[in-house]
Structure 1
Amino acid sequence: MTQTLADMRRDYTRDGLSEAQAPHEPFALFEQWFAEAVETEQPPVEPNAMTLATVDADGRPHCRVLLLKALDERGFTFFSNYDSAKGQHLALNPFAAMTFFWPSLERQVRIEGRVERVTAAECDAYFQVRPLGSRLGAWASPQSQVIADRGELEGFLAQAEQRFLDKAPHCPPHWGGYRVLPERIEFWQGRSSRLHDRLNFRLHDATWLRERLAP
């Protein structure tokens, strides 16, 4: 197995990333790359899938894959249960890192920054456009808590279905959005012989500084 893993590699030859191709702030470049990912990536890859890293009270990192659900000049927004493991981590240490990987384009984007909760109005607006099953699931699931078996979860769902039998589910108080306010965004373009292109944008005194990193 060790030898097999050591021999696993591919050469990246699709594209490059020069300073001439990049603006002096990162959001426009992210939106361009994201649009290209939407056009290029095929299922089962979801272009808005990202790995989110948080740190618990003991300083131990935790990663999981989530979906980006909003983007504007303020930052990158995802939604979750506030009582989940990630919610507890962010309550203690409101910083996170995110990584997007688009294999067809041989690209990844790394984002680091402070995290804040979005407004109740933003939570409500997004919650109401979710499928009914997802809205009921937000009420049913005690996310990250230990449960006895699948039957217990299905019982919670049945209770939620009964509760909202004659009315639309509203946004639960324990569920909502987080916005990552980026302080660093790195764009990585795979290149041949592992000499990859890395353009790093770093926020300094409210101004984005662009710099090239060695691969």
Structure 2
Amino acid sequence: MTVSTTDADGRPANPNAALTFYWPQLGRQILIRGAAAPAGAAAGAADFLARPAGSRAEALIGRQSEILDDPADSTSPSNRLRRESPPTPA
């Protein structure tokens, strides 16, 4: 999560967060609101390691929030890496 409103020490000035997403099976938009707090390094590492390998790779090599000069650059970095890398011996 990126927090753009911080105090002088770099902590979030407003501890509240909101998440909105569309849930197609219900045909509804869902809004979740509440206070947010850091979970700590161990919880963050456990959450990261619980994700699929492709998701972890994308997080490590992706260019999230960067401006794309060419729409072709929007291709997933992990897909691009798979295409450009030699096959791994079995």
Q: CA offsets, 1:29-49, max 9 Å, x none?
A: xxxxxxxxxxxxxxxxxxxxx
Q: TM-score, normalised by structure 1?
A: 0.26
Distance 1:150 1:94 in 2: 35
Structure with greater contact order relative to length (CA < 8 Å, sep ≥ 6) = 1
Distance 1:94 1:137 in 2: 28
Pairwise CA distance, 1:93: 3.6
Please report the RMSD computed on the Cα atoms of aligned residues, expressed in angstroms: 3.7
Q: Map of 1:37-116 to 2, 5 A cutoff?
A: 82=1, 87-89=2-4, 91=12, 93-98=14-19, 103=26, 110-116=31-37
Q: Which amino acid aligns with 2:56?
A: R
Segments of 5+ residues of structure 2 without an aligned counterpart are 6-11, 86-90
Query: Identity over the aligned pairs, expressed in percent?
Result: 31
Segments of 5+ residues of structure 1 without an aligned counterpart are 1-81, 163-215
Q: TM-score, normalised by structure 2?
A: 0.51
2:60 counterpart of 1:145: no
Q: CA offsets, 1:97-150, max 9 Å, x none?
A: 24575627x8x8654322122211111112112111111100112212212235
Q: Which amino acid aligns with 2:26?
A: P
Greater Rg over alpha carbons, structure = 1
Q: Which structure shows the bigger proportion of residues in strand conformation?
A: 1
Aligned twin of 2:49: 128
